[in-house]
Amino acid sequence: MEKLSKLAETMVGSEIVRLGNEINERKRKGENIFNFTIGDFDPSVFPIPEALEKLIIESYKNHNTNYPPAEGTTELRESVSIFIKEWQHLNYSPEEILIACGGRPLIYTLFKTVVNEDDKVIYAAPSWNNNHYTNLHKGKHCIIETKPENNFMPVADDIAPNIKDAALICLCTPQNPTGTTLSKESLSAICDLIVEENNRRGKDKKKLYLMFDQIYWTLTYGIIEHYNPVTLHPEMRNYTIFIDGISKAFAATGVRVGWAYGPAEVLAKMKAFLSHIGAWSPMAEQKATAKYLLEKKLLQQYFDKFKAELELRLNKIYEGLTALKNEGFDVDAIAPQAGIYLTIKFDLVSKATGNTALKSQEDVTEYLLSKANLAVVPFYAFGAEKSSPWYRLSVGTCKINDIEPFLQNLKKALQDLQ
């Protein structure tokens, strides 16, 4: 007998939260855990830009504490319009931009706007939360199982057989959890599919939209470039809703300023939902962000330093894991491309130490935590198969001095396995 709503009864708890609770309990008991699970930043390691912090404090001192407009302040929408034009050469008016308290309410309201019950939603596995958002809206899950040879990114050939009658395609690049990106060629091919499908449907049928989550787009390394659908294929402007904000670009996850931009008619309905939910970005933070986004020189200085620190950590860990692989241990990693994540592999199922046998990937995760004091998030927490040996490692809370001890601990734990 149901005690709650049907939706509540089908909700699945977060594997990341469960793992986080276990880590916190171990730390409470005095264990030193190398915690690379958190898709967040330690402010003592990666503080928000000093100039932005000063602007937020000043904004509160100016008593900007009332309700903001449902669509966001005019100043911030104008600044976002200028920011994306200067940095990405995209032309969107303030009327095509919607502000919220981070990306999550914007994703939620986009699903609310374009996904009906039993509508098909196409998304990759692994990917962040698309499975949960689809479940919340009673959509039909269409999961693209990605492959390491494609850097765990979806490709057009996998999407094409599923595109008929789909309501929404969800893309994230750079991607959470993989830290990898869509190439120009791959994204172009996916855009071609979407345009062709919408042309096939004609004027009277419901359109297929693309949710393009680019919250990590400023954090690319080396020769990696970020591409967007509208620049590659101008007709995609009619079907693309961008999700973006300051949370990852400025290590400002708790400041809660996000924005979406896309077709005005879609944004208007998202605004209507948002006005009822009330998930607005605080007025003071909006006023401060509006000013900061226009400081192009300060932004460039911050990006250069911030990205260099993140890239240093990702490369050091990648090189350490590669060295372990070359020594014959069953580990692997994909070279870092973007974001704050490294895709790593622990192919340890069927190995054993003493009386402990690793019979499942869950056993492997627990072994790494218990014996190496290493906490990383398995890809099955992001919708991949339970048997997947791949993991997300996040460097958002990583101190440089922790890298060598963590690698030594890991090597010792691997040596103990047979």
Please tell me the predicted confidence (pLDDT) of residue 160: 98
Please tell me the predicted confidence (pLDDT) of residue 272: 96
- Note the pLDDT tens digit of each residue in 128-146: 999 999 999 999 999 999 9
On average, the pLDDT of the chain sits at: 95
Those residues whose C-beta lies under 8 Å from the C-beta of residue 39, and which sit 6 or more positions away, are: 128, 176, 177, 340, 341, 394, 396
- Whether 197 and 164 have beta carbons less than 8 Å apart is answered as yes
Please tell me the predicted confidence (pLDDT) of residue 367: 94
- Give the whole-number percent of the chain exceeding pLDDT 90: 90
Per-residue exposure over 16-39, b if at least 16 CB sit within 10 Å of its own CB, e if not: beebbeebeebeeeeeebbbbbbb
Assign 1 a pLDDT band (cuts: 50, 70, 90): low
- Note the pLDDT tens digit of each residue in 184-238: 999 999 999 999 999 999 888 999 999 999 999 999 999 999 999 999 999 999 9
Q: Which residues partner with 166 through β-bridges?
A: 120
Return the amino acid letter for 79: S
Identify the CA nearest to 288 among candidates 8, 65, 17, 41: 65
Please tell me the predicted confidence (pLDDT) of residue 21: 79
Return the amino acid letter for 374: L
- Whether 277 and 248 have beta carbons less than 8 Å apart is answered as no
Fill in the DSSP letter of residue 71: T
Domains and CATH numbers, the chain: 6-46+302-415 (3.90.1150.10), 50-299 (3.40.640.10)
Report whether pLDDT(117) > 70.
Answer: yes
- Note the pLDDT tens digit of each residue in 299-351: 999 999 999 999 999 999 999 999 999 999 999 999 999 999 999 999 999 99
Farthest CA pair distance, the chain: 66
